[in-house]
Structure 1
């Protein structure tokens, strides 16, 4: 049985048993004992396995992403156009998500007593982060000052591009190996996901019943609606205006890429198909496709940024945490930055979502609430990520 099928079964079984215990059995003592001493610890171990990857993953991903551009003084026209498009389209995507979740407010409406229970279950140990430039990057990492760590990573990556290549290469090789090892750890953690998802969902639904299930359903609808609006709306406008290609023609020619992305949930796995489609169907020069698409598979994460923005505000609403407009702007910026560092593998964005949550004072452990529905959302956001890569290639090749 495939992993995503096991995760779905864990979600359904945990939700069904937990909701039944709450609604029909009125949460008897033995259910409370099981939820507290069995289900919750299994779920928390899974979350901690993801949390332990956050610091090295953020540092390695961002440093390698910046250093991989080469000398920042020699990026050239193609590089500047590509990166500018990546950042602008990703920011548009994140903004769409923020606007939608503010309009729909899927996380609001829990009774105060249930909200207090939920907050107690996922009480964060991460403080609100305000210092963009850390005095000590090691201390920033140890204290989970994610904004400070990200700024240092960006500066360090840029500095690597400015020193002689023979000196930078050994550092890059080490960071690349560390990054690969971290991705393997995430893969190992995801093997525990079916049991972790069951434990987390059972723990929450046994206490909150159908209320949390309804909120999750509304959350899924908002994320998918946002992805559709960006994928079929704003990307269509961009490919027409910036790329000079009719959207109907564009989407008809990239069907293979869309199918591969949706089925694999991996930008990396879709890359060979993307390059072939770009060169053969969209008639993009090989030198453009070979530069823009590999770079886009790590830097152009439109769907991931939208997903992160919606999820952060949904969980804030669920926990009763008010995020003002400046803080929501921070969410957009952090979603764009962390989306650039997201590993292009199934579940690769989950540790970085915790970064965004912690940066605005929302409990990172709250990710356990949405974890069970992540697989279907991962398939959808990866599809939008891949479509965004191809629109970027069309724009740069024009």
Structure 2
């Protein structure tokens, strides 16, 4: 059982408020000499924020690798790796692609960061690199040197290697003395490491927010409300509309019945902010209340907790557009396509623990040379948004479980349609 930090939401909010108050006090008053303000800005806010950012970046590659290898290697027998596997993974990737595309479209239309003006905009590059081209991007998925790919944070290459390594581990598990168990244990260690580092998030938020406020004053938050409102609207729309369309037109199921039976699971996911912690509740509801065969449920739901991160993909897509707009940069169509690919890939590798999606967002920002410092704004408001994202994720897990079971004739529709 992962030892999660206590009162993380409250502590992050306290860190946010203190960073805001201290930064604003130093920005708007001359109570201390300018040398003191400069010392606080550099050796408390900047240094503290940089250390926290380094700790987050430290986890990106091992987080993706061990999470994916563990999930893929635990798929079961070769029969489980057949039609059921491709159908499940295919549906999950499809909904994730829809999710991030929806976020990019909404971000481009509503322009939540277009009115932002700060040192970030002045420090950002005037234009983004045009990328390697479609040919190089596709070839880059298949690395010639996985160590180099990991060192350079080539996320698509890391995901590809993790998947084929997990498949090979699955097929040779009986020859290696259940080596997959060792990877599962290592994955547990890294999940705990994530939680340990996230326990410092209140201090990190204090430093990152204080760094922004002491430089820009109150103007730093002028567009955050637009980002938060738009992100919540997108999450709710995706959960209510996209999944309803899948349930109705692919599964032939009543979405209202599904949502009525999923409300307790969604609330539990909201309180825990962890898809993994919600797995037992999701499995019970999917099997006993929604009528999904136990064998199908026990495969689809855990795999979903590993690779189905629609809420995370929406956040990453919108946050990327938001930060690009803050920096005064217009993304090209090909760069939007790259964002979709990276958001899908990094959401797959995102651990099912609180706020892990913020860590993998760093990869996308690095890919486009966007200022990593701007992630402080995202992290400051991310805790509550992460709770909503987790509810969306587990709702997607259950919806895909029902659809896969229905297409495999493994769904008891009498149980699904019952009033209980």
TM-score normalised according to structure 1 size: 0.90
Alignment of 1:368-379 (within 5 A): 368-379=376-387
1:9-68 alpha-carbon deviations (Å, 9 max, x no partner): 111221233234334559962323212111221122111111111121122223333333
Q: Alpha-carbon deviation of 1:363?
A: 3.7
The yes-or-no answer on 1:43 pairing with 2:52 is no
Write the distance in 1 (CA, Å) between the matches of 2:307 and 2:291: 23
The yes-or-no answer on 1:63 pairing with 2:72 is no
1:251 corresponds, among 254, 259, 265, to: 259
Q: Tell me: CA distance 1:68–1:51, structure 2 relative to 1, closer, same or farther (3 Å).
A: same
Q: Alpha-carbon deviation of 1:226?
A: 0.9
Q: Tell me: CA distance 1:160–1:198, structure 2 relative to 1, closer, same or farther (3 Å).
A: same
Q: Alpha-carbon deviation of 1:261?
A: 0.7
Q: Alpha-carbon deviation of 1:97?
A: 0.8
Q: Specify the SS of the correspondent of 2:356.
A: coil
Write the distance in 1 (CA, Å) between the matches of 2:246 and 2:30: 54
- 2:142 paired residue number: 133
The yes-or-no answer on 1:286 pairing with 2:294 is yes
Q: Alpha-carbon deviation of 1:279?
A: 2.0
Further displaced range: 163-172 or 234-243: 163-172
1:86 corresponds, among 73, 83, 92, to: 92
Further displaced range: 79-88 or 170-179: 170-179
Further displaced range: 104-113 or 219-228: 104-113
1:105-148 alpha-carbon deviations (Å, 9 max, x no partner): 2122233656225x49xxxxx99775433332112222333333
Write the distance in 2 (CA, Å) between the matches of 1:53 and 1:152: 17
Write the distance in 1 (CA, Å) between the matches of 2:86 and 2:32: 58
Q: Tell me: CA distance 1:291–1:62, structure 2 relative to 1, closer, same or farther (3 Å).
A: closer
- 2:9 paired residue number: 4
Q: Tell me: CA distance 1:95–1:266, structure 2 relative to 1, closer, same or farther (3 Å).
A: same
Q: Alpha-carbon deviation of 1:255?
A: 1.2
1:341-391 alpha-carbon deviations (Å, 9 max, x no partner): 111111222222212222333244532231111101100100100110111
Alignment of 1:215-364 (within 5 A): 215-364=223-372
Q: Which runs of 5+ in 1 are unaligned?
A: 121-125
Aligned length: 392
Q: Tell me: CA distance 1:72–1:83, structure 2 relative to 1, closer, same or farther (3 Å).
A: farther
CA contact (8 A) 2:75 2:299 kept: no
Q: Tell me: CA distance 1:133–1:82, structure 2 relative to 1, closer, same or farther (3 Å).
A: closer
The yes-or-no answer on 1:189 pairing with 2:197 is yes
- 2:23 paired residue number: 18
Write the distance in 1 (CA, Å) between the matches of 2:131 and 2:40: 33
Q: Tell me: CA distance 1:367–1:26, structure 2 relative to 1, closer, same or farther (3 Å).
A: farther
Further displaced range: 95-104 or 15-24: 15-24
Q: Tell me: CA distance 1:157–1:17, structure 2 relative to 1, closer, same or farther (3 Å).
A: same
Further displaced range: 60-69 or 375-384: 60-69
1:397 corresponds, among 393, 397, 405, to: 405
- 1:208 paired residue number: 216
Q: Specify the SS of the correspondent of 2:63.
A: helix
CA contact (8 A) 2:273 2:353 kept: yes
Write the distance in 2 (CA, Å) between the matches of 1:113 and 1:269: 40
2:156 corresponds, among 144, 147, 156, to: 147
Q: Specify the SS of the correspondent of 2:253.
A: coil
Further displaced range: 186-195 or 311-320: 311-320
CA contact (8 A) 1:243 1:391 kept: no
Q: Alpha-carbon deviation of 1:245?
A: 2.2
Q: Alpha-carbon deviation of 1:158?
A: 3.7
- 1:123 paired residue number: none
Question: C-alpha root-mean-square deviation of aligned residues, in Å?
Answer: 2.6
Q: Specify the SS of the correspondent of 1:166.
A: coil
Q: Which runs of 5+ in 2 are unaligned?
A: 1-5, 407-420
CA contact (8 A) 1:357 1:364 kept: yes
Q: Alpha-carbon deviation of 1:168?
A: 5.4
CA contact (8 A) 1:65 1:341 kept: no
Q: Tell me: CA distance 1:295–1:342, structure 2 relative to 1, closer, same or farther (3 Å).
A: same
Write the distance in 1 (CA, Å) between the matches of 2:320 and 2:154: 17
